[in-house]
Amino acid sequence: MQETYFSIPKHISFKTQKNNFPPFIMLTSPHSQCSISLYGGQVLSFIPKNHPDILWLSEKAFYQEGKAIRGGIPLCFPWFASEGSPAHGFARIMTWEVIDSGIDNKENPYIKLKLEANEHTKYFWDFKFSAELLVKVSQKLEINFSITNEDEKSFSFTEALHSYFQISSIENITLRGLEDCSYIDSLDNNISKVEENAIVINAEIDRIYQDNENTCIIIDKKFNRKITISKVNSHSTVVWNPWIHKSSTMKDMQKDAYKHMFCVESANVGEKKVLLKSGETHTLQLSIEVSSP
């Protein structure tokens, strides 16, 4: 039983869910709390002391096999968006297993989850792979998403840590870090554009900064905080807010949800796809930290 073997009193516990849905893992550090769904290998919340949750999770999220949980940090693999089917790949709609857990010398917990190729994944993508997710919490949330090619033949994939950030309200925020960077506008015939200024949101936005390794900062005037999103081995950034109309078409988003969420995704998409030879491993690293603006 994973629970008994990987639990650590005061730091790592398992929370059973109704209707036989896979359990959530609860991580507690001296500075923060975090919850992770074994279904999808999905971080659902990250709550530093004295802060509202850094991540947004829909009150109408589905918790059922075959559907993605709306919010937190969905894992998009082995493809991003409609580069394959199902959209954003299968990693976020499969149940992962715990393979390791522990605490560091400052009582900061970590957990490691794994998803391996099986008959179900083979149906969608005929390659042998193993995916590992390492989540560690302290004052910050650190995630390593590793893919290993366990096949004899090479393969390529695209990926994203599709982070939904919780914001006080959409009109209060500014996104810094992408000024003067070129992006593909998914809402305007995938035309390449450049935004000179820091991003403010006053309409639907869906941008793929395909070749971009910059650290991004969400500044929230009302919550009086800035969220710093830094990454390693992620050569693309995706920015998304569905705004009013798009979110009204989504059954798992409540009416005004668009005002309180903003996606800044750490990715490798399009021409930045990752090519792995047999036996090679690629690790995308993400660090999320909150501070005063």
Token pair in block for residue 19: 């209707």
**Please, are residues 72 and 42 in contact by the beta-carbon 8 Å criterion?**
yes
Which residue's CB is nearer to ligand TA6, number 32 or number 266? 266
CB of 15 to ligand TA6, least distance (A): 24
Cα within 13 Å of Cα(48), Cβ side: 16
Catalytic annotation, pick one of 265, 280, 282, 289? 265
CB of 121 to ligand TA6, least distance (A): 18
Rounded to whole angstroms, the Cα distance separating 169 from 162 reads 20
Which residue's CB is nearer to ligand TA6, number 100 or number 271? 271
Helix (H) or strand (E) holding 236: strand 236-241
Positions touching ligand TA6 (CB under 6 A) are: 68, 81, 87-88, 186, 206, 238, 240, 263, 265
Catalytic annotation, pick one of 11, 88, 162, 235? 162
Token pair in block for residue 279: 């036996």
Which residue's CB is nearer to ligand TA6, number 67 or number 128? 67
| 265 has catalytic annotation | yes
Rounded to whole angstroms, the Cα distance separating 65 from 69 reads 10
CB of 250 to ligand TA6, least distance (A): 7
Rounded to whole angstroms, the Cα distance separating 210 from 31 reads 34
CB of 14 to ligand TA6, least distance (A): 26
| 162 has catalytic annotation | yes
Using Cβ positions, the residue closest to ligand TA6 within the complex turns out to be 240
Rounded to whole angstroms, the Cα distance separating 238 from 164 reads 11
Q: Degrees (nearest 5) of the Cα angle 206, 210, 216?
A: 70
Which residue's CB is nearer to ligand TA6, number 68 or number 184? 68
Catalytic residues: 162, 265
